[in-house]
Amino acid sequence: MTAHTTHSTDPGREADRAAVRALLDSSCRAWGRGDGAGYGRHFTEDATDVTFVGTVYRGGDEIGRAHQALFDSFLKGTALTVEVIDLRFLGADAAVAVTRGEVHKGRPKRLGKLATYTVVRGADGTWRIAAVQKTRHRRLMEAFSFRSQPATRPSAP
């Protein structure tokens, strides 16, 4: 389930913001159903998915196939929660969404992973994920950095 967008730099693009959120919501629903093919359909044919562990998958078909194997094994019965924290449009048909999220069973304790999605609108008007890169938020390391080098603290959370 995708939560609200907390920051967006482009006023007047509400329909596009809603479409990008709907894309991410729909991908989360496919994940929750354990539907690898359905999850893969949210990606472009030449998409890149860099997973949390560093595996690189290419193309919606491969992403869907690999995720089905995961859904059938150690990700069985999990849900994906994604919250858009920044959404920026790069022209009429491309956007970058920075998200917080978590894979979980039950309710997530915290949204401890970050992902950057590049999404594009195809010729058919449908938004799809062209690239996603995921990483764990290392709160302790971040706090140490901010304390020892205050200039490393970003201006926005």
Taking only the tens place, the pLDDT of each residue in 9-49 is 556 799 999 999 999 999 999 999 999 999 999 999 999 99
Q: Average pLDDT over the chain, rounded to whole?
A: 88
Three-state SS letters, 107-129: CCCCCCEEEEEEEEECCCCCEEE
Report the share of the chain in percent with pLDDT over 90.
71
Res 54: pLDDT? 87
Res 137: pLDDT? 63
State which fold the 2-152 domain adopts: Nuclear Transport Factor 2; Chain: A, (3.10.450)
- Average pLDDT, integer, range 62-76: 96
Map out the domains of the chain as residue ranges.
2-152
Taking only the tens place, the pLDDT of each residue in 70-100 is 999 999 999 999 999 999 999 999 999 999 9
The answer for residues whose C-beta is within 8 angstroms of residue 19's C-beta and 6 or more apart is 121, 127
